[in-house]
Structures are given as structure tokens and as C-alpha cells.
């Protein structure tokens, strides 16, 4: 297991007794990433058995309170435990929000808060490039500027075990292959490309608040895991008015998404039960769309 995704909050607008406000945790090889930070998120992190102090990067989709109210408290907690810095990526305006809150409560943290504000873009762009992964974003179609995010593990070249066995390659052969890209085996030149293949990395996409837009497919296509808002079942008028998705629309674009697993989140509190969502998915005979719940964990 390289990592896991944990849903910390699956309610829209306001928390319920069973569902917290928005938040998704991604753990990857010892690093922690947080996507949105609604009210109560740091408590949800602790309840999920995760470490707050491993969070190095936070990605805020937009500035509605149900996605950011937990952020000032989380920053203070990290500061009180002597974390040196925290990197935050967001739409424009977050720095003013954080400054106002921290100044308003007369709190001057020692932690270095590095806020990177990104302009709304209809094109997918990279907001962070690491050695083994990159994180991309794209503008969505909410009532305010909003970004969707995608974590993409970089592809890796791996050796074909059958070919290695056929050629009887030994340890010294691999050292040579890694060093110069080829070996001379019994008078025959064997290139690394001939005995390796490229393995696609894991792709996780988070689509928060949005109405219909082709940018969902642009960002999420062929994800191994897609966590996507489904505020409404089929109330199209409300979805259009408030800038959200319906399950019906997700079912409509399902064939184009080509995702291995889809998890729905951000449910309206009008639904005391999600049985209708479940029944509608079953009607379509779809087996890889799941209803998200707080503390749902997906390993990869």
C-alpha cells in the first residue's frame, strides 16, 4: 500500500449529526495532503486516526465557509506544536481571509504560512510538481471561483519479469542498465526499453462544488479514484441555481469519465436517507459508484 484517501466530511453547507463539512485527506508515502478544511476538520482527522502534523500541503477549492472554517484552527494547532511551515494552495482571496481571522483573534503564529493563490483557469494546470507526483487543478462552474484538484502519481518504468528470466539477467546487469541504459549480453545489445514497460501511476481527483462543466471530464478522466460532489439527486433547478451537481448528471457523464472508482460526497442535508441515490445507481447497473460517508477509507 502506497497511500490512502480518507473522507473527513461528506455534508454540504452545514454539518449534520452524521456528516461533517467538506474535507478529504490523502496520505502518500509519509506525506499528508488535505483537500478543503470545513468546520471541525482537525477533529475529524484525529478521529480517523490520522496525524495532523504530517499535513504539509492544503488545497482549498473555494472560499465558502463550509470549505474553509476549519483552516484557522488547524493552522493554530500546527503552530502550537512547532511545525515550521504549511503550504496552502487556493483561489484568490484566501490570504485576506486568514489574515483577518488571525488578526481578529489577536493571534500571531510563528508558523510560516505560505499561501499560493491561483487564478481561475478553464485549462488544466499544474500547481505542484514533486519527484514522484504532481497536483493539477482546473476551474469549475460554481457561484464563486472554485477549483477541482487531481493528484497524479508519475508513471514508472518497470522490468518485465518474464524477459528478465528468459535472458537470465543478474544483479550486475541491472546496475549497468540503470547506469547507461543497455547491456551487452552474450554479444547481443539489450536496451533497457526492450525489457521494461511503463506502469501508469495512481490518479485521484477531487471535484467539489460545481454545476455542469466539461472541465470535470478534463480533470477527472481515467482517474483511479474520483471523489465528486453530488449535492442533489435530481433537482436540476436547484443545482443550476446554487451551482451544484445532481446524481442524474453524474450518471449522464459516467461513460466519458472512465474512472475505476467513483465516490459521491457533499450531500444536501435535505436527504435523511440516501436510499434513493443507491437505488438509482442500481437501476443503471453500475457497480463502481459508491456513496461516501465520513471516515470512508480507500487504500491504493
66 is catalytic: yes
C-alpha span between 33 and 76 (Å, rounded): 17
Task: Assess contact for 146 and 62: CB atoms under 8 A.
Answer: yes
Say how far apart CA 80 and CA 107 lie, in whole Å: 11
E strands, 121-177, in order: 125-129, 133-139, 147-153, 156-159
CA distances for 113 relative to 123, 130, 143, 290, angstroms: 27, 19, 27, 36
Q: Three-class SS of residue 171?
A: helix
Which cell numbers hold the place of 191? 536496451
Q: Beta-carbon neighbour count of residue 5 at 10 Å?
A: 25
Positive or negative, the CA dihedral 282, 238, 145, 64 is: negative
Distance linking the first and last C-alpha atoms of the chain: 6
The active-site residue out of 18, 36, 56, 66 is 66
Is the separation of the CB atoms in 147 and 140 below 8 Å?
yes
Q: Which residues contact 190 (CB under 8 A, 6 or more apart)?
A: 167, 182, 183, 184
User: Which residues, listed in sequence order, are joined to residue 139 by a DSSP beta bridge?
Assistant: 147
CA gyration radius for the chain?
Answer: 22
Alpha-carbon gap, residue 208 to 106, rounded angstroms: 32
Please list the active-site residues: 66
Amino acid at each position: 500500500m502506497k497511500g490512502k484517501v480518507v473522507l473527513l466530511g461528506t455534508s454540504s453547507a452545514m454539518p449534520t449529526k452524521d456528516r461533517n463539512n467538506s474535507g478529504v485527506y490523502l496520505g502518500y508515502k509519509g506525506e499528508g495532503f488535505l483537500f478543503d478544511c470545513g468546520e471541525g476538520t482537525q477533529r475529524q482527522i484525529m478521529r480517523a486516526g490520522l496525524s495532523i502534523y504530517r499535513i504539509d500541503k492544503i488545497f482549498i477549492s473555494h472560499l465558502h465557509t463550509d470549505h474553509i472554517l476549519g483552516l484557522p484552527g488547524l493552522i493554530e494547532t500546527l503552530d502550537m506544536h512547532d511545525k515550521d511551515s504549511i503550504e496552502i494552495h487556493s483561489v484568490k482571496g484566501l490570504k485576506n481571509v486568514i489574515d483577518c481571522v488571525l488578526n481578529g483573534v489577536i493571534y500571531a503564529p510563528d508558523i510560516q504560512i505560505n499561501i499560493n493563490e491561483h487564478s481561475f483557469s478553464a485549462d488544466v494546470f499544474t500547481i505542484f510538481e514533486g519527484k514522484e507526483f504532481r497536483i493539477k487543478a482546473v476551474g469549475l462552474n460554481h457561484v464563486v471561483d472554485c477549483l477541482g484538484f487531481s493528484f497524479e502519481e508519475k508513471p514508472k518504468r518497470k522490468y518485465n519479469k518474464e524477459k528478465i528470466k528468459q535472458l537470465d539477467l543478474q544483479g550486475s546487469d541491472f546496475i549497468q542498465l540503470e547506469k547507461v541504459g543497455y547491456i551487452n549480453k552474450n554479444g547481443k545489445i539489450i536496451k533497457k526499453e526492450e525489457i521494461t514497460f511503463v506502469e501508469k501511476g495512481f490518479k485521484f481527483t477531487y471535484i467539489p462544488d460545481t454545476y455542469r462543466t466539461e472541465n470535470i471530464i478534463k480533470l477527472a478522466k481515467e482517474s483511479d479514484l474520483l471523489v465528486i460532489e453530488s449535492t442533489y439527486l435530481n433537482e436540476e433547478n436547484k443545482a443550476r441555481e446554487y451551482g451544484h451537481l445532481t446524481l442524474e448528471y453524474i450518471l449522464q457523464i459516467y461513460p466519458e469519465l472512465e474512472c475505476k472508482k467513483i465516490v459521491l460526497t457533499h450531500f444536501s442535508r435535505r436527504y435523511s436517507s440516501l436510499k434513493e441515490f443507491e437505488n438509482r445507481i442500481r437501476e443503471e447497473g453500475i457497480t463502481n459508484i459508491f456513496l461516501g460517508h465520513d471516515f470512508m477509507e480507500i487504500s491504493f
